[in-house]
Amino acid sequence: MGPLDGVRVIEIASLAPAPFGCMVLADLGADVLRVDRADRSGPRVGPRVGPPVDPLQRGRRSIGLNLKDPSGVDLLLRLIEGADVLVEGFRPGVAERLGFGPEECARRNPRLIFGRMTGWGQEGPLAPTAGHDIDYIGISGALAPIGRAGERPVPPLNLVGDFGGGGMLLAVGILAALVERERSGLGQVVDAAMVDGSALLTSFIYGMRATGTWRDERGSNMLDGGAPWYDTYETADGGYLAVGAIEPQFYAALLDGLGLADADLPAQLDPSGWPELRRRFAEVFATRDRDEWTEIFAGTDACVSPVLSMTEAIKHPHAVARKAFIDVGGVTQPAPAPRFGRSAAGHPAPPPRPGADTDSVLAGLGISADQVAGLRASGVVA
């Protein structure tokens, strides 16, 4: 089910961005086969004890291969011959050293899309070095604007580098390459780098800088908490409200809900008056509980919403109405997105245990049960 039904993806197990990109592909109907570690030199990637629960691993099958063994690499290449996409998240050059780089894979399957997910990209002075989300968005310029004025930058979880600028753009790149393959008949390499993707996410801000409507000073702009009408406010019960009343008509609705429509206030777009506006807004918001304010602004265009915990978000009436969260293997998690009118995605299967599908996958290659037993005994598969 789903628009990618029939697309076959091989995913070399890794962490965070590549699994997220492959989760998106699996959610949309692709048949994703995860290659987990079977070598005895280190821990397997993925859940180690108990039932697997990681949503990023849902909707897969799994085979255990020792890619440090030439026989394991040979099995991988045989799988690649019948695949549409391969995804790996090694540092540059590792796949080549193991024997399944893009050139070798193209010889086996010229139509293969070879997705590469890294932090720094395949070339450049930082390409061979280690890093994490916070490092990539630090270099790309995406981290510096996030935080309060006069304070240090605040890590936005790992949403900007790993997932938005990493796994999501990896999936977009793979989809674009699949479309292009319909014209050319050939596969190609998709070089997805989190440093590039997180920079791309700031395109709108670069446009504002070019028009003089954005300053590099953190916490002094319209969308970074500098403007009092685009910020969060604490309520009497210790909860918080998110306020995004940018347009004049929405700002007017905000003032009306706060009882400040006739108050003597600074002009909305005059930064010199923002400290006073913030003070007045904070005073009023602190007089009622979060849910009281939510009720007051319900049905209006003031662009005010409660700041919900992840537990609360699952139960919000809008999320419930849209079935935005689902149960997969006993774990509540976000449902597949986006939604399709005709080729709807199915309900994701729970994450497989590493290597759970090894025998059936190898049988599909024509390998007998005795041969599988021999490969397992020698540590090539698990």
Task: Give the mean pLDDT of the chain.
Answer: 95
Name the residue with tokens 């890093």. 131
- Note whether 7 and 178 are within 8 A (CB): yes
The yes-or-no answer on residue 132 being catalytic is yes
Closest CA to 251 of 274, 283, 221: 274
Give dist(CA 174, CA 318) in Å, integer.
Answer: 32
Tens digits of per-residue pLDDT, 79-111? 999 999 999 999 999 999 999 999 999 999 999
Q: What is the distance between the alpha carbons of residues 11 and 19, in angstroms, rounded to a whole number?
A: 8
Residue 194 CA: distances (Å) to CA of 117, 119, 130, 285: 8, 5, 13, 39
Rounded CA separation 125/92 (Å): 12
For residue 39, what pLDDT band results from cuts at 50, 70 and 90?
low
Describe the crossing of helices 290-297 and 248-258 by its angle, rounded to 10 degrees.
Answer: 130
Domain locations in the chain? 8-201+336-377, 230-318
Place 334 in a pLDDT band, splitting at 50, 70 and 90: very high
Where helices occur in the chain by DSSP H, the ranges are 17-27, 70-80, 94-98, 102-108, 133-140, 169-184, 194-200, 203-210, 248-258, 274-285, 290-297, 310-315, 317-322, 358-364, 369-377
pLDDT band at 249 (very low <50, low <70, confident <90, very high): very high
Residue 45 has pLDDT above 50, yes or no: no
162 is catalytic: yes
The token duo for 96 is: 């080549």
CA neighbor of 238 nearest in space, from 313, 307, 312, 311: 307
3.40.50.10540, 3.40.50.10320, 3.40.190.10, 3.40.720.10: CATH of 8-201+336-377: 3.40.50.10540
Q: Which of 31, 84, 135, 162 is catalytic?
A: 162
pTM of the predicted model over 0.85? yes
Indicate which residue of 74, 132, 316, 359 is catalytic: 132
pLDDT-above-70 percentage for the chain: 96
Q: Tell me what the mean pLDDT of segment 99-125 comes to.
A: 97
Residue range 230-318, CATH number:
3.30.1540.10
DSSP per-residue codes, 190-206: EEEEHHHHHHHTTHHHH
In the prediction, which pLDDT does 154 show?
Answer: 97
Q: Give the chain's end-to-end CA distance (angstroms, integer).
A: 29
What pLDDT is recorded for position 1?
A: 84
DSSP-derived letter for residue 381 is B
